[in-house]
A and B are shown apart, each in its own frame.
Chain A
Amino acid sequence: MRNSTWREYIITRLIKLSGYSAILFVGLIFLFLMQEGAPALIKIPISTLFSTRWYPIENKFGILPLIGGTVVVTFGAALFAVPLGLATAIYIAEIAPPWVREILKPLVEVLGGLPSVMLGFLGILIVTPFVRTTLDVPTGLTAFTGALILGGMAIPTIVSVAEDALDTVPRTYRQAALALGATEWQTIWRVTLPAARSGVLTAIMLGIGRAIGETMTVMMVTGNAPILPTGLGALFRPVRTMTATIAAEMGEVATGSVHYHSLFLIGIMLFLISLVINLAAASVVFRQRKRAERILS
């Protein structure tokens, strides 16, 4: 009797501890980033920081081109991965006959597990020359190429999560809509998708998150030129993303130098961006849940 309450006590404490440790680690990472990155804010004048030139050897630490690069590549990837991913998820969950579904679902999941270096390889060997010759641009290492491949990487995530969400919508919803005289497409668009909204949104956020954080592939295919992308034409010129900058330069930077601190500052910004995206997604889901709770009470 005594023994079992003891065990209960220890187990619940352990579970609690591991819960708190997740918060602790995030806090520690953030503290470390701040400690290493904040000095950059002091040592580099704000005007330099928000200039358009990133050239550390000459003490030019303008991070705008890097932010621009990340935004262009991520946005481009999302633009093409979200519709395609959702369409695939809808096809697998709603339209495909069972045997097709049984093949496609695991296949998509395998795709999601491909190491990003491999995709970078494919990008350099196949996509890059293709982009160069078909679009007739000086180099195939462009933001567009990066977006294409990143989008491809985000698709499996989006498909997999969105398909699960669609799958949990009760069959009876569809039958009810069909019995009311809705076509298959009207049922999907007006009933199934809205019912799975929060899951679908999570899928999109996870997909975008994957695209933002991706380093290896973009480093291999975007050309890595820190030029501020302006206008539509910039899509077909080389860019450099924040992640690629950190990965490429961290290895040869002198610890404690201004350059070193500036790389950590970029890390902080990435951290903040992903935090904002996660919070945005969470708040949408949370708002819906609160609404549902209000309804059910």
Chain B
Amino acid sequence: MSRGTTSHNIPTQEGVENKIIIENLSVAYSDGTESLRKVSLAIPDHAITVLFGPAGGGKSTLLRTINRLNDLADVVHLSGHIWLDGKDLLDPHIDVIALRRQIGMVFARPVVLPMTIHQNLTYGMELAGIRSRDHMEKAIERSLQAAALWDEVRDRLNEPAVALSGGQQQRLCLARVLALEPEVILLDEPTSGLDPISTGKVEASLQELKQHYTIILVPHSIQQAARTADYAAFILDGQLIEYTHGKKIFTNPQDQKTEDYVEGRFG
């Protein structure tokens, strides 16, 4: 078993604590689309790790495998391990519900639930068995502030969440995840439907959040990848091509394929 210390074949960053270690992960769907082939990488704690590459390359699959949302998809083959604090997330006996609280996710399009802003935030906490009103109110304020939304909604928490603008909805989704106090946050193109100002706000809050969380981000553009990445992994056709510091991969990529993609020669 490989744990915090990784075996030699897993790409690891120097001088950091690893939160998640993905080992030889292969996924295939019944319709043959977007699969992963023997992907291994170690994801550091308290940093933003960006997974980028052309569409259909397996980035979303990788994210969804980490919080086991891929259980719902038509997966015909799944092998390898994903270690979180030494626990294998792909173990069929693991408590998936508890796992999803530990690993929050924000989707490409903001999905506010058909309830009020307040209920959107308390829903996950109620599911987690939190009953204390006091605790909830504190968590709501804290998470809305962390998602840079508190000032805009503090007076209208009881309005339906669909009344918010797209950017506000997406930040609400982020706040909803934060309210559960997860350890890892997965973001699948969280700003793809947002205007530049909202995008800026989301990115700014991510920079704050990384001090407390492990963040894995699938960006919606290379520019965003370059702006936000502490570490970046280039994924192409289900394989990990290159994985290194964000600064390095976008300015001085080692692999020809990465260079071609980063400079816009394909994809």
Give the tally of cross-chain contacts (CB within 8 A): 65
Q: Mark A166-193, 1 if CB is under 8 A from B, else 0.
A: 0000101101111111110010001100
Q: Which residues of chain A are within 8 angstroms of B69 by Cβ–Cβ distance? A: 175, 178-179
Q: Mark B61-105, 1 if CB is under 8 A from A, else 0.
A: 000000101001000000000000000000000000110110011
A181 touches B114 (CB 8 A): no
B97 touches A183 (CB 8 A): yes
Q: Mark B48-68, 1 if CB is under 8 A from A, else 0.
A: 000000000000000000010
Given contacts A181-B98, A296-B162, contact A176 B114 (CB under 8 A): no
A283 to chain B, nearest CB (A): 20
User: In the complex, what residue of chain B is closest to A192 when comparing beta carbons?
Assistant: B114
Asked whether any CB of chain A lies closer than 8 Å to the CB of B166, the reply is: no
Chain B interface residue count, Cβ-Cβ cutoff 8 angstroms? 27
A186 touches B127 (CB 8 A): yes
CB within 8 A of B111: which of A172, A190, A291, A292? A172
Given contacts A175-B69, A295-B163, A296-B162, contact A180 B111 (CB under 8 A): no
Given contacts A170-B111, A186-B127, A194-B114, contact A178 B100 (CB under 8 A): yes
Q: Mark B110-134, 1 if CB is under 8 A from A, else 0.
A: 0101110000000110011000000
B162 touches A172 (CB 8 A): no
Asked whether any CB of chain B lies closer than 8 Å to the CB of A285, the reply is: no
Q: Which residues of chain B are within 8 angstroms of A179 by Cβ–Cβ distance? A: 67, 69, 100, 104-105, 107, 177
User: In the complex, what residue of chain A is closest to B129 when comparing beta carbons?
Assistant: A181
B101 touches A172 (CB 8 A): no
A182 touches B111 (CB 8 A): no
Asked whether any CB of chain A lies closer than 8 Å to the CB of B39, the reply is: no
User: In the complex, what residue of chain B is closest to A191 when comparing beta carbons?
Assistant: B113
B160 touches A181 (CB 8 A): no
A176 touches B107 (CB 8 A): yes
CB within 8 A of A181: which of B72, B107, B180? B180
CA distance A179 to B103 in the complex (A): 8
A180 touches B100 (CB 8 A): yes
Q: Which residues of chain B are within 8 angstroms of A84 by Cβ–Cβ distance? A: none
Asked whether any CB of chain B lies closer than 8 Å to the CB of A195, the reply is: yes
Give B contacts to A, CB under 8 Å. 67, 69, 72, 97-98, 100-101, 104-105, 107, 109, 111, 113-115, 123-124, 127-128, 159-160, 162-163, 173, 176-177, 180
Other contacts beyond A179-B67, A182-B123, A194-B114: 6, CB < 8 A: A173-B114, A180-B176, A181-B127, A190-B123, A295-B159, A296-B163
